[in-house]
Structure 1
């Protein structure tokens, strides 16, 4: 059994120093002090510690070749302390589901970080057959692209709700970037109203790309608490940031990104200062057994 203690960790979640007992790459205890244990200690005083990030990216360049993919992962994820990616394959026609899903799965076999695969579709392609495809293949999130509210008002939401049962994938809006801010706001409000009235599992707003997703999003998708939280029984995936012993602007990810000193993914060092260890194929496809389980 491999065991050690991460000592004097300033956890971002509560801005307090804690000690973490690690055994076989699993967090076994988190306490104010673990002085009674005789294990090797890793003193991280002077650093702030938090769970490695989960990020969304709907534009992975899966057709661009291995080296381009490698550079993309380093730039957008490993340098940002991201250990889990949410992405999606896009279709225009229902018959493309199987082939595009397999294509995305094949491309992500080289991923150095864990990943969740969803599907991205124009809203008019949201059908009962597509919902059933997501249920069979455990695709937990459907990104629904909208340019206006015409199809939003016409879809048979009652049948769609029934088809979602029992897996219940989450619908996430993607609004056309060509719309004005006022048009986007009105469309989102109508989306929220229809989803609430029809009792459809959904996200109320667009998910941001290339920045850490909030716990509320991870709960909806079904990733929390396995991702986004350092907890007893959880995996050893965390970031260490240089700090002056206080939490500086807790919501400024771009400020933190410059101070990311160490990233650990499943117990393995991935980033140390400016050095990146790219472990091709180290990532795993995460199976979401049930979205919204912790909501």
Structure 2
């Protein structure tokens, strides 16, 4: 679409409506245009605008899918412009090879993507943290079979390994039926992280789009997930039939809302509810600097 801009009084940012002029050039959000010739104005009066959604593939994991491309299209249909694909790690020996092979298997995904390694806490070692930090993954998930497993790890060693990359470590439940996502267990995890100065996320990762705080702690933003200068020009247009409501359930409602139009890197990849995968060749992406925009 070249260089273009639009203005809207209904841009969703930080759970609030903002009036904003959005400029796009060369697939990126920009504050000003390098070349003023041929710039187009796009009219979006009938829509409200939200950033491209960033999902972890919790509801339908790509790793276990017969057709990863089909699964990715489902997320894209919901307005996802970056998909974090879980990679189960079950060994302290072959995990590097497994990581490289999984990246290669994702090469045909029609959506930008990252890899999130998930490791049973009992086999978690400092070399896992160092390696995946060097690979610039957004975070590392640790899986629990029971809360007592937290005592099986030398967390001071994990923190020392984490210092190099600041890659967050988060809690993943092994089995939904076990109730390991309880508030009590998460509080226990947060207290452990506080005691050992482990970098983690302030909220559990669920099937909803990642929050702004999570995007910034992980280093996914500014590259993805926000309408921010030099970030990928990813956004969604939602039909605006009346005055949109903002309340405490807005994040959940944004997750459930299906956009009419989805734009990724400045190009329309979904229009009138139809995904055009011919225009979308997903790229494997790495995070920038974790916690770069977070007050320390």
Does the alignment reach a TM-score above 0.5?
A: yes
- Conservation of the 8 A alpha-carbon contact between 2:55 and 2:84: yes
Secondary structure of 2:176's aligned partner: coil
The 1:45/1:166 distance shift into structure 2, 3 A limit, reads: same
Shift of 1:205: 4.1
Alpha-carbon distance in 1 for matches of 2:271, 2:27: 19
Aligned residues: 283
CA change 1:107–1:9 in 2 (3 A) is farther
Q: SS of 1:196's equivalent?
A: helix
- Secondary structure of the 1:94 match is coil
Superposition deviation, residue 197 in structure 1? 0.6
Is the CA contact (8 Å cut-off) linking 1:90 and 1:120 kept in structure 2? yes
Name the counterpart of 1:243: 240
In 2: Cα distance, 1:61 partner to 1:25 partner: 26
Alignment pair present for 1:286 and 2:285 = yes
The CA deviation at 1:142 is 1.1
Match of 1:253 in 2: 254
Question: 1:227 aligned to 2:229?
Answer: no
- The runs of 4+ residues in structure 1 deviating greater than 6 Å are none
Which segment is superposed worse, 224-233 or 263-272?
224-233
Q: Specify the alignment match of 1:27 in structure 2.
A: 29
Aligned match of 2:72:
73
In the alignment, structure 1 segments of 5+ residues that lack a partner are 31-35
Give the Cα separation in 2 of the matches to 1:169 and 1:222.
9
Cα drift, residue 64 of structure 1: 4.7
Distance 1:240 1:270 in 2: 12
Cα deviation 1:160-181 (Å, max 9, x = unaligned): 1112221122111012423247
1:204–1:234 Cα change, 3 Å: closer
Unaligned runs of 5+ in 2: none
Q: Alpha carbons of 1:196 and 1:16: their partners in 2 closer, same or farther (altered >3 Å)?
A: closer
Cα gap change, 1:84/1:8 in structure 2, threshold over 3 Å: closer, same or farther?
A: same
Equivalent in the alignment of 1:213: 210
8 Å CA contact retained: 1:116, 1:285? yes
2:89 aligns to what?
A: 91
**Pairwise CA distance, 1:55:** 0.5
CA spacing shift, 1:204–1:278, aligned 2, 3 Å: same
> What is the aligned-residue RMSD (CA, Å)?
2.6
Question: What's the offset of the Cα at 1:63?
Answer: 6.0
C-alpha deviations, 1:90-138, integer Å up to 9, x for none?
1221112022102210111112221121211110011122222223323
Which moves more between the two structures, 186-195 or 116-125?
A: 186-195
Structure 1 CA distance for aligned equivalents of residues 222 and 159 of structure 2: 26
TM-score, normalisation: structure 2: 0.85
Deviates most, 97-106 or 20-29: 20-29
Query: What TM-score, normalized to structure 1?
Result: 0.86
* Higher Cα radius of gyration: 1
